[in-house]
Structure 1
């Protein structure tokens, strides 16, 4: 029987594996995709808001060409940590079910079964997008993930959202020749947009290069056009593609199936001990951004990498 099964092979899951290995605990990391699957699925040209040293785990230096590293540099950094430390990481192995008996947790994956004394959930939140809940959202022209601006060159592109992902996509796609329209529910660009990006998007909007509708929502999507509810009424716009970049959320159903209670407010914050990271289910721990529930902007690699030591120390004490 393993001491720990870590669900999620992102930076925080890797940090938990490193800590368990140092303390000579038996463990396994289960990742449903490649190493750091979420970062792999980020936009190809993404640059982190954080500096490289703030993305480091286990005091392993992260050297990047610029102060704020790129997605490619992060992928290489975390891959080298996994390979250099021969971490017990199983890739492309999705967890299907976790059950608890009196003496152990039993984990069933797409490839195998495991038994363990403790479970660490480091699954993040990037797998389930928030949706618009409107007619036409199921059309193939609509996506909730942005990858590469080249795809949208010469196309009429509507981008829903006001935060970093939406603004980065708008600027990149416009520079590759897309006709970009931003649709923003609020009255301005998001306050958490990267400080070096904000002047760029504001200037592009003011000069008319990127169209924007504030205080507006898409109400229907059709194959070649969309309806936008604006302060002046419904406006129909010609459209080829829609990027609905309005955020993501953890798998709340999965947490509840495990018996983890969530807060009753809109945040849906999971219950856990802030000193040990153990949930209300004894033996199940949370690590990383999953701790924030819907408040996904509160937890990052830099302020949740400490969870690994907290969790392993608590397990050792027990």
Structure 2
């Protein structure tokens, strides 16, 4: 029986594995996609807000050309961390069930069954988009994920949202020749947008290069046009693609299935902030999943500490019997 089974092969899941290895505990990481699956699905042009040293895990240096790494550098770093430490990782293997036993857990996946004394859930939040809930959202032209701006050259693109991802999409597609319209429900571009990006989008809106509708909502989507609800009434504009950059959320159904209690407002899971143990004994939470719908609270840089907190608690319980 394993000491720990870690669900999620992202940066924090890997950090938990490194901490377990350092403590001499047996562990296995199970990931339903590729290694650091969420980072892989980030835009190919993405630059991190954090500096490289704040993205380091396990005390292993993250050396980059500039102080803010790009996606390719992060993918390389976390892969090298995993392979150089010979970490036991099962990729493209999804956890389908967890049963509490007297001495631990039986974990069933799409490929195998494992037994572990403890479980760490580090599943992130990038797999499930927050839907708009409007007619036409299921059309193929509506995208919740974004890879490369060149795909949208010479197209009429509506971008919904004002977060970092939305603003990056708007600026990058505009610079590849797209006709960009921003639909923002607030009265200004979000203050959380990267400080070196925010002036750029504000100036592009002021000069008319990018059209922006503030205090507005996308109302309906059709094959070749969309309706936008604005303070001055509903308008209809021609459209080829809708980029719904409306955020993402953890897999709450999965957490509930495991017996983890969620708050009624933000669906935040119940856990001990000193140990990261959930209301289910021996089941721990690590990384952004602990924030529920408040996905902006936790990042790699401030949730790296969860790994040591969890392993310290597991070791302490073992010593104290």
Distance 1:224 1:239 in 2: 5
**1:153 and 2:147 matched:** no
SS state at 1:68 partner: coil
- Residue in structure 2 matched with residue 272 of structure 1 by the alignment: 271
SS state at 1:173 partner: helix
**Aligned pairs (5 A) from 1:188-203:** 188-203=188-203
Distance 2:242 2:108 in 1: 37
Shift of 1:221: 0.4
Distance 2:303 2:286 in 1: 7
Distance 2:25 2:162 in 1: 44
- Residue in structure 2 matched with residue 174 of structure 1 by the alignment: 174
TM-score, scaled to structure 1 = 0.99
**1:297 and 2:300 matched:** no
SS state at 2:47 partner: coil
Distance 2:107 2:169 in 1: 38
SS state at 2:296 partner: coil
Distance 2:66 2:55 in 1: 13
TM-score, scaled to structure 2 = 0.98
Distance 2:84 2:233 in 1: 59
- Residue in structure 2 matched with residue 241 of structure 1 by the alignment: 241
Distance 1:260 1:156 in 2: 44
- Residue in structure 2 matched with residue 89 of structure 1 by the alignment: 89
Does structure 1 retain, via aligned residues, the 8 Å contact 2:104–2:282?
no
- Residue in structure 2 matched with residue 281 of structure 1 by the alignment: 280
**Aligned pairs (5 A) from 1:60-99:** 60-99=60-99
C-alpha RMSD of the superposition: 0.7
Distance 1:98 1:210 in 2: 49
Shift of 1:102: 2.1
SS state at 2:106 partner: strand
Distance 1:57 1:2 in 2: 23
1:148-179 alpha-carbon deviations (Å, 9 max, x no partner): 10110010000000000000010000000000
Shift of 1:129: 0.5
Shift of 1:104: 2.2
Distance 1:264 1:240 in 2: 38
Shift of 1:99: 1.5
Distance 1:80 1:63 in 2: 12
SS state at 2:123 partner: coil
Shift of 1:103: 2.2
Distance 2:45 2:110 in 1: 32
**Aligned pairs (5 A) from 1:196-215:** 196-215=196-215
Does structure 1 retain, via aligned residues, the 8 Å contact 2:96–2:108?
yes
SS state at 1:269 partner: coil
- Residue in structure 1 matched with residue 123 of structure 2 by the alignment: 123
Distance 1:45 1:5 in 2: 33
Moved over 4 A (4+): none
Structure 2 gaps of 5+ residues are: none
Structure 1 gaps of 5+ residues are: none
- Residue in structure 1 matched with residue 114 of structure 2 by the alignment: 114
Distance 2:118 2:104 in 1: 8
**1:186 and 2:186 matched:** yes
Shift of 1:22: 1.2
1:113-135 alpha-carbon deviations (Å, 9 max, x no partner): 11111000000000011000011
- Residue in structure 2 matched with residue 261 of structure 1 by the alignment: 261
Does structure 1 retain, via aligned residues, the 8 Å contact 2:35–2:79?
yes
Shift of 1:253: 1.1
